[in-house]
Structure 1
Amino acid sequence: MKTFRNCLMTAVSAGLLGLGLAAPADAGAIRLGMTTWVGYGPLFLARDLGYFKEAGVDVDLKVIEESALYMAAVAGGDLDGAASTVDELMKYRSDDLCFKYVVALDDSHGGDGVVTQADVKSLKDLKGQPVALNEGSVSEFWFNVLLKKEGMTEDDVSITNMTAD
């Protein structure tokens, strides 16, 4: 538990430093938005276990299921930052809004998967079938890579947009 705590606090401290919010005794408050995703779990653990308070930071975590909404809240000053994937950050970055990525919380190496009915034995079995995924997300990108390997495209399936929650 001590190793987890040290790693988490190092990552969070680096992120807060990047936001200009880390200070010794009382760093103040930070409001972070994010979608529902298990990779953001350590932020909730750090909050609930008192690690942020111990470091002098009051962290308010807001779950907002649409990335466009939490990025707009950051741009408008309603949030101080967001826990987000790099692809989301790049999607909303512009000349007017220069979002900065300050800390990586997670690396995924083989943690993704496709869940199907038992009768689906390959991606080709999905031809003409409805497929639910979060449009515009890493999930859609990854699914397209899989489809391409099978000589397919999204036109071969029926995409249904589904948010992370």
Structure 2
Amino acid sequence: MLSVSRRVLMAAAFAAALTPAAALPVRAQDLPEIEFLYSPFADYAPFFVAEDLGYFEEFGVDVTLSPKGNTAETIQMLASGNIEAGAATWASSLFNALDRGATVSIIATMARMPDTVPSPSPFMVSQKAWDEGIRTVADLKGKRIGIPGPGGFGMYSVAKALEKGGLTIEDVEAVYLPPPATAAAFANGGLEAGWSIEPFAHQLEKQGLGRRLVEDHTFGTELGLIAFNQDFVEENEDAVVRFVAAYLKAARQLDNGGWQDDRILEIVSNYTGTEPDALRGIPYTVRSEDGAIDMESVREQEEFFRQRGALEYEGLSDIDGVYRRDLLQRANDLLASKK
């Protein structure tokens, strides 16, 4: 925690560096603490870097990173005001919550899939299944497939991978389990294939437990978003802008060669429980430079869940009504003013 006196000094120095158009007339000691929910995956790296390299402090915000459960839990905690901020995947639970009027504000993208292979979120087949002759997606009909949950990006990603072999989710036996549990399931024959994400995908390969089967199924897909409690945003726009500016600084650093920095590998290792060497050279998710969300990709995922009967409403959810593009722009302007 920053002392009040240190926050005052930081605020004064920070304000002096701003142009009149970008200046934010809030004293640092007035900014509230922000608790942010994260998952121990490599795609959350910008938040880890912003915290440990002091970018949140540089922009005058006091942030605590806390591990979380699933997307539904994150949105529930945000909507109820039990937490200030968090990241979540685009999921049926989120779309339904937005339609019911959940009090959350969406601020920026958290991560998206790159347009290249290898993929940071491949569809993998177990080595055991491979040895038994399962070499294509079509071979998985009737087999057990690991999916992190019934209504999130993992489900969408697996469905897109199965399409490569002319299959649907209904053609396989869905087994819901988190990515860290896939290794044991692959080893004991509990799964023939499943969704994965870095750094777990690399670990499966390194341990000889799994192989990448499909990697070109989700090019450019929006993976997740940054959201805040809506009431918190209305009362603390300055703090949100500063948080996002720090996040964007870290994200740009990562997306422009930052993964080659040993300091960053050590930081991400501490949050993901993965050895730095295991993080070196693996594929990573990316972000738009300005943090903007590709709404076409989001709508494609929404339609997927509608076709599965997972949505409780007709038409499109009112994402535009809670997507604070104005605050994202202010964060970009603030970051630009610091150069």
- What TM-score comes out, normalization by structure 1 length? 0.75
Match of 2:155 in 1: 140
SS at match of 1:140: helix
Q: Give the drift of 1:145.
A: 2.1
Q: Identity, % of aligned pairs?
A: 24
CA distance in 2, matches of 1:99, 1:163: 25
The 2-side partners of 1:49 and 1:100 are apart by 27
- Cα drift, residue 124 of structure 1: 1.3
| 1:121 alignment partner in structure 2 | 135
Report the alpha carbon displacement of residue 78 of structure 1 after superposing the two structures with TM. 1.1
Distance change (3 Å), C-alpha of 1:47 and 1:22: farther
**8 Å CA contact retained: 2:74, 2:87:** no
1:99 pairs, out of 95, 104, 125, with 104
Distance (Å, rounded) in 1 between the aligned partners of 2:163 and 2:64: 41
Partner of 1:163: 178
Is the partner of 1:132 in helix, strand or coil?
Answer: strand
Greater CA drift, 21-30 or 45-54? 21-30
Structural RMSD (CA): 2.4
- Does the 8 Å contact 2:137/2:165 carry over to 1? yes
Task: Write the distance in 2 (CA, Å) between the matches of 1:55 and 1:104.
Answer: 19
**Residue type of the partner of 2:42?**
V
Residue 99 of structure 1, CA deviation = 2.4
Contact 1:33 1:83 (8 Å CA) reproduced: yes
The 1:131/1:22 distance shift into structure 2, 3 A limit, reads farther
Q: For the residues of structure 2 that align with 1:24 and 1:160, how far apart are their CA atoms?
A: 50
CA drift at 1:104:
1.4
1:31 to 6, 18, 35: 35
Q: Aligned in 2, Cα 1:104/1:22: closer, same or farther, shift over 3 Å?
A: farther
Aligned partner of 1:62 in structure 2 is 66
Report the counterpart of residue 318 of structure 2 in structure 1: none
TM superposition shift of 1:159: 0.9
Q: Distance in 2 between matches of 1:78 and 1:144?
A: 33
Query: Does the 8 Å contact 2:142/2:172 carry over to 1?
Result: yes
RCO greater where, 1 or 2, for CA within 8 Å and sep 6 or more?
Answer: 2
Contact 2:79 2:103 in 1 (8 A): no
| Residue-pair matches, total | 145
Matched to 1:25, the amino acid is A
Residues 33 and 64 in structure 1, CA contact (< 8 A), matched pair in contact too: yes
Cα displacement string for residues 86-140 of structure 1 (whole angstroms, at most 9, x for unaligned residues): 3364243233314222011322124331121342311112122211111212121
* Farther off after superposition, 129-138 or 141-150: 141-150
Q: Which residue of 1 aligns with 2:191?
A: none
CA–CA distance in structure 2, aligned partners of residues 163 and 85 of structure 1: 14
